[in-house]
Amino acid sequence: MSYDESVVIEAPSDSFWEVGNYKRTVKRFDDGHKLCNDLMTCLHERARIEKGYAQQLSEWAKKWKQLLEKGPQYGTLEKAWMALMTEAEKVSELHLEVKCALMNEDFEKVKNWQKEAYHKQMMANFKETKEAEDGFRKAQKPWAKKLKEVEAAKKAYHVACKEEKIAISRESNCKADSNANPEQLKKVQDKVEKSKQDVQKTKEKYEKNLDELNKSTPQYIENMEQVFEQCQQFENKRLDFFQEVLLEVKQHLDLSTTSYSTIYEELERSVKSADAKEDLKWFRCAHGPGMPMNWPQFEV
């Protein structure tokens, strides 16, 4: 292997196997705890919306009930119109139930799971995070030590190669210089010989360290995989739990099955029961020609 200054040494990759790159996996524990907080905030905000909508519907129904009772509308159409207020009151109750389910069931479920899954420690981090960090560090330490030795040996080898190249160049220049004396040439040639020996020596050490690193790699992979799988199992539980909660939230939000259908079936019946002929007949009798009348008669 010869040294070439034009060769660019690649920076460490983004691979999980690089020293320290396990931290992204460890970070998922902190991220998971934060995501629990985010999910609870999400549910709390939706519950507040449900409560606000319920209150607005209730206030709207109360206002229009009073207006209708005092207004000029009459008869079966008044009852049909009033059915809208009844619908609003019932829908308001449904959305209050949604609000309660979101907070008392879903929110509390996430809160309790988070408390059971993550254990806060004195230094403001979680036991689960520390265990994963320690596990990866322990798995990586022997291999990282050998990698450091390889990097040092590689650097020494490349420096020796560079020195050899410089020495050979000086030797060539000295040979080409007619004014150079034999003593100078001997000195330069000795330097070339020494640099070649240094190259061979550092190369052997580099190859030896690299061989030791390669031999330790399978054990390194096995140990890192083991810790990684433990982290995966924890994250799998969180993902499954979140899916479970979201499905329950969906059930609480979905009012289209029985709750809504019953309300709107009743509203439809109320509206369809309005009868213009009956209302006109009533008005005729209550306020029109159908009213009784004490016609003037001859009085003694």
Query: Could you tell me if 78 and 140 lie in one domain?
Result: no
Answer whether residue 65 is part of any domain: yes
Answer whether residue 250 is part of any domain: no
Query: Could you tell me if 223 and 266 lie in one domain?
Result: no
Answer whether residue 300 is part of any domain: no
- Compute CA distances 209 → 54, 141, 157, 173, whole Å: 72, 16, 12, 36
Question: Residue 11 — very low, low, confident or very high, per pLDDT cuts 50/70/90?
Answer: very low
Q: Is 126 helix (H, G, I), strand (E, B) or coil?
A: strand
pLDDT at 46 over 60: yes
173 lies in which domain range? 133-237
pLDDT at 171 over 90: no
Per the structure block, which two tokens stand in for 15? 């691979």
Sequence-separated (6 or more) residues with CB below 8 Å from residue 170 = 188, 191
Per the structure block, which two tokens stand in for 200? 């061979």
CATH number at residue 192: 1.20.1270.60
Mean pLDDT on 125-146: 94
Q: Residue 125: what pLDDT?
A: 83
Query: Could you tell me if 269 and 186 lie in one domain?
Result: no
Query: Could you tell me if 228 and 267 lie in one domain?
Result: no
Mean pLDDT on 14-19: 92
Read off the pLDDT of residues 179-214 as tens digits, 9 standing for 90 and up: 767 777 778 788 888 989 999 999 999 999 999 999
Mean pLDDT on 14-41: 95
Answer whether residue 243 is part of any domain: no
Answer whether residue 83 is part of any domain: yes
Query: Could you tell me if 210 and 267 lie in one domain?
Result: no
pLDDT at 9 over 50: no
The tally of domains found in the chain comes to 2
Read off the pLDDT of residues 82-107 as tens digits, 9 standing for 90 and up: 999 999 999 999 999 999 999 999 99
Sequence-separated (6 or more) residues with CB below 8 Å from residue 94 = 255, 259, 260, 263
Beta bridge partners of 126: 120
Answer whether residue 142 is part of any domain: yes
Q: Residue 177: what pLDDT?
A: 66
Q: What is the pTM of this model?
A: 0.80
Q: Residue 256: what pLDDT?
A: 81
